[in-house]
Amino acid sequence: MIEELFSDYTLRTVALGAALLGVVSGSLGTYAVLRRQALLGDAISHAALPGIALAFLLTASKAPVVLTLGAALAGWAGTLLVMAVVRTTRVKSDSALAIVLSVFFGVGLVLLTHLQRSADASQAGLDRYLFGQAAALLERDLVTIGLFGGVALGVALACWKEFKLLSFDPDFAATIGLRVRAYDVLLTGLLVLAVVVGLQTVGVVLMSAMVVAPAAAARQWTDRLGVMMALAALFGVVAGVGGAVVSSSAERMPTGPTIVLWLTGLVVVSLLAAPRRGLVWRFAADRRRAGRLRLGAALADLDALAVRHGSLEHGHSVSVLELTAGRGVGRSLAALEERGWAQRTAEDEWAITEAGRDEARRRRGG
């Protein structure tokens, strides 16, 4: 498999393209996710369609650079419209995104179907943009991805601290003289670039996952922006190459959806297993905390019973303890015994030890 990655021209091209894409959309998606604009990617990818159609209509060229440029302009116009609608009217951003997304797409559809039926132009790659055709990636496509993606990444790195400040605290940024609106438009423009270069590989519908998933996964592993962005890029590469390899080795596995499933897998693993934030980690921590609480409660119960009976040796049956401490008291008792704070006096009977009594007093603050 690895060998093929280097020897098979098609696979190599596809994998390289998908990896490049993963880097670009993963790292720029980081800002989108942090700024709660995760679905902007979805809107951009749909809004790009009329741009592709118009670029083809005006230049009669199918060169990827031309079509990508058209897509970028339309996607950018779409996001600016979303911003304008949200700013000037009471329509909320979710509605504005949904409308721009569907209306631009509809207009793109009108243009493309009009083209197809009036002229005998073969489909200007409509299918290619809807679902992506990674298998059809050529070297010139790689150049396009590298060119646009490289520009986007370069600008993002050059404006590192400005973008960080903009994402974290735009008001403060404005007070120290940052031109917040301009940087906002610029950063959104970079996201547009990242999205449109991926369209013909992953497709309109699934491109949003390329933006959201790597960043969402990366966020779980780190608390540093730089690391998060690097991890997101890495996840993007892993999913891209993984998707390319799997879809080329299995029959009828479309590349775009396969990449998305890889991404989904990475997200699920991250949500579960990431240290500290991950669900498994949190679950274990909760269990430990609950165990400690139950242990303390069982100790206090035993102590109270000993006080009432005026004797440490008097054993108390588990069923009595269950009345207050619940069914799981057996495990707490075992743990108490382990620490030498309780002892078994009979088959189902327990008593507090001296050490246990001292501990109980200490915990009561006495």
Partner 1 sequence: MTSAQLEIQLVAVVVAVACALPGVFLVLRRLALVSDAISHAVLLGIVLAFFAVGDLSSPLLLVGAAATGLLTVFLIELLQRTRLVREDAAIGLVFPALFSVGVILIARFADTVHLDTDVVLLGELAFAPFERFVLFGWDWGPEALVEMGFVLALNVLVIALLYKELKLATFDPGLALALGFSPALLHYGLMALVSITAVGAFDAVGSILVVALMVGPPAAAYLLTDRLPVMLGLAALGGAASAVGGFWLAHALDASIAGSIAAVVGIEFGAAVLFAPKRGVVALARRHARQRVEFAEAMLAIHLLQHEGTPEALAESRVDHLDEHLRWERSFARRVVRRAERRGYVVTTDGRLLLTDRGRALARTALAV
Partner 2 sequence: MNAPSPALEVLDLTVAYGERPALWDVDLAVPRGTLTAVVGPNGAGKTTLVRAVLGLVRPAAGTIRVFGGPYRERRRLVAYVPQRGSVDWDFPTNVLDVVTMGRYGALGWLRRPGRREREAAVESLRQVGIEDLADRQISELSGGQQQRVFLARALVQDAEIYLMDEPFQGVDALTERAIVALLRELREAGRTVVAVHHDLQTVAEYFDEVALLNVRLVASGRVEEVFTEENLRATYGARGFLERPAVEA
160 scored as a contact of partner 2 (CB under 8 A): yes
Q: Under a CB-based contact definition with an 8 Å cutoff, are residues 162 and 178 in contact?
A: yes
Alpha carbons 48 and 107: distance in angstroms, whole number = 10
Hey, what long-range contacts does 149-152 have (CB within 8 A, 24 or more apart)?
149/20, 149/21, 149/23, 149/24, 149/193, 149/194, 149/197, 151/193, 152/24, 152/28, 152/190, 152/193, 152/194
167 scored as a contact of partner 2 (CB under 8 A): yes
Q: Under a CB-based contact definition with an 8 Å cutoff, are residues 233 and 287 in contact?
A: no
**Which of the stretches 7-15, 75-83, 175-183, 321-329 binds partner 2 when contact is defined by CB under 8 A?**
175-183
> What sections of 159-276 are H helices per DSSP?
160-168, 170-175, 180-202, 204-221, 225-249, 255-273
Alpha carbons 252 and 258: distance in angstroms, whole number = 11
Q: Which of 3, 7, 87, 176 binds partner 2 (CB under 8 A)?
A: 176
Q: Which of 92, 114, 161, 331 binds partner 2 (CB under 8 A)?
A: 161
In 3D space, the residue among 97, 102, 99 whose CA is nearest the CA of residue 49 turns out to be 102
Alpha carbons 1 and 358: distance in angstroms, whole number = 65
**Which of the stretches 14-22, 77-85, 171-179, 197-205 binds partner 2 when contact is defined by CB under 8 A?**
171-179
283 scored as a contact of partner 2 (CB under 8 A): no
* The two three-digit tokens of residue 215, written as one number: 């960043």
Write each residue from 213 to 242 as x if it is in contact with partner 1 (CB under 8 A), else as -, in one continuous string. Answer: x-xx--xx----------------------
For residue 99, report the phi and psi dihedrals to the nearest 5 degrees: -70, -50
Q: CB of 18: closest distance to partner 1 in angstroms?
A: 14
42 scored as a contact of partner 1 (CB under 8 A): yes
- The torsion region of residue 351 among left (phi > 0), alpha (psi -120 to 50) and beta comes to beta
Write each residue from 245 to 274 as x if it is in contact with partner 1 (CB under 8 A), else as -, in one continuous string. Answer: ------xxxx-xxx-xx--x--x---x---
- How many residues touch partner 2 (CB under 8 A)? 25
**Which of the stretches 126-134, 222-230, 259-267, 348-356 binds partner 2 when contact is defined by CB under 8 A?**
222-230
Q: Which of 8, 139, 169, 313 binds partner 2 (CB under 8 A)?
A: 169
37 scored as a contact of partner 1 (CB under 8 A): yes
Q: Which residues bind partner 2 (CB under 8 A)?
A: 34, 158, 160-162, 164-165, 167-169, 171-178, 219, 222-225, 227-228
Q: Which residues bind partner 1 (CB under 8 A)?
A: 33, 36-39, 41-42, 46, 85, 88-92, 94-99, 101-114, 117-118, 127, 130-131, 205-206, 208-209, 211-213, 215-216, 219-220, 251-254, 256-258, 260-261, 264, 267, 271, 277, 279
